[in-house]
Amino acid sequence: MLREIRIADEEKILVHGRTLPDRDPAVLLWNGSSVEFNVRATELWVELAGPFDVKECWIAIELNGAVIARQMLKPERDWICIFRGKEVQDVSRVRIIKEQQAMNFEASHRIEVWAVKTDGEILPPPVYDHRIEFVGDSINSGEGSIGAREETQWISTFFSHIHAYPYMVAKALNADYRIVSQGGWGVYISWDRNLEAAIPRVYEGICSVAVPDFAVPGLHEKNDFAAWQPEVIVVNLGTNDNTGTHPEGREADPEELKKIQEAVCAFLHTLRKNNPQAYIIWAFGILGDQPAPLIKAGIEDFKKQSGDERVEYLPIPNTTEETVGSLGHPGEEAHRQAAEVITKRLREIL
């Protein structure tokens, strides 16, 4: 006989990613956010909703570490069967993962996880070896990591967290992780020259990319950094700054380029203030490394100002004609190559 268990009533169900403390329902906002638990049962269902205004919500379902499904959610609450007919003695590790980034132009886009329904018992949660935070733009958001390279329409189908390097790195290192990323944004300026669309402006909030009238209040409150401290922060920002400072391919203003360097330095101070023990890696180059000298200079400025040597620049492989994905973004193979370089370096640090 199946019994219903609300997420709010079961502490053994983990909620990953920056979100509000209220778990009725658990709200998933950033890509890679998830709910996870162990269960001993023959049958399991999860009640989910994916409200949205423009871009529908997608999830990936992981069972015992392997992705078994990827699907779009209905806006209203609905029960999804994860498995049935298993042997009752089996312990199943289940994770429901948000595939897309937070959508900064929508008042509704989110995933709500309300409850599970099972004939078994929820067991103590999985244990992770490390904690990693990933900060970036559309690359970290997994934009274009799935789909044919001929696909050029900006739709939800072609955002996939599980095909992007943050997921791959975290899996390789058995790491709990969080992501702060937004397609088109930079460390100083966006691809379309919007100074408000800069990740440092929203980094300290729970999900400050949310529009002011977002359906769930409180997302602009400061994130509780003390409750979750990463061992390593991996930053990938600069691609959109390069586009934004070269409008229509024109020569950039040297004074404006200097602001990228200054923004890198200032953001590192922000990261260090909120994450005093984390090693910081600026991993860059998957879509060209044109602003790399500015990023490196910003890192050196930070080191001189702070005396902090726990920061470094890490080049990662560029996307090629063979590894490009949809929407002109890195495909799964490009992400895999980046993940291998980042993972190798993190193994040396952790």
CATH number of the domain enclosing 39: 2.60.120.260
How do 232-236 and 130-136 pair as beta strands? parallel
309/177 same-domain check: yes
How many domains, the chain? Answer: 2
Bin 288: left if φ > 0, else alpha if -120 < ψ < 50, else beta.
left
- Average pLDDT over every residue of 124-140: 97
- Average pLDDT over every residue of 133-160: 96
Alpha carbon separation from 131 to 20, 114, 124, 178 (Å, rounded):
19, 26, 19, 8
Specify the pLDDT at position 4.
97
Domain boundaries, position 187:
130-349
With a pLDDT cut of 70, the percent of the chain lying above it is 100
223/280 same-domain check: yes
62/210 same-domain check: no
Q: What is the pLDDT of residues 180-208, one digit of tens each?
A: 999 999 999 999 999 999 999 999 999 99
DSSP code for 172: H
d(CA 31, CA 161): 6
Contacts with 298 (C-beta within 8 Å, 6 or more apart), sequence order:
260, 261, 262, 263, 264, 265, 268
192/278 same-domain check: yes
CATH number of the domain enclosing 290: 3.40.50.1110
Query: For residue 148, which phi and psi values (nearest 5 degrees)?
Result: -70, 150
Domain boundary (82, 101, 123) is at 123
Bin 347: left if φ > 0, else alpha if -120 < ψ < 50, else beta.
alpha
Q: What is the pLDDT of residues 320-344, one digit of tens each?
A: 999 999 999 999 999 999 999 999 9
237/272 same-domain check: yes
42/87 same-domain check: yes
d(CA 126, CA 135): 24
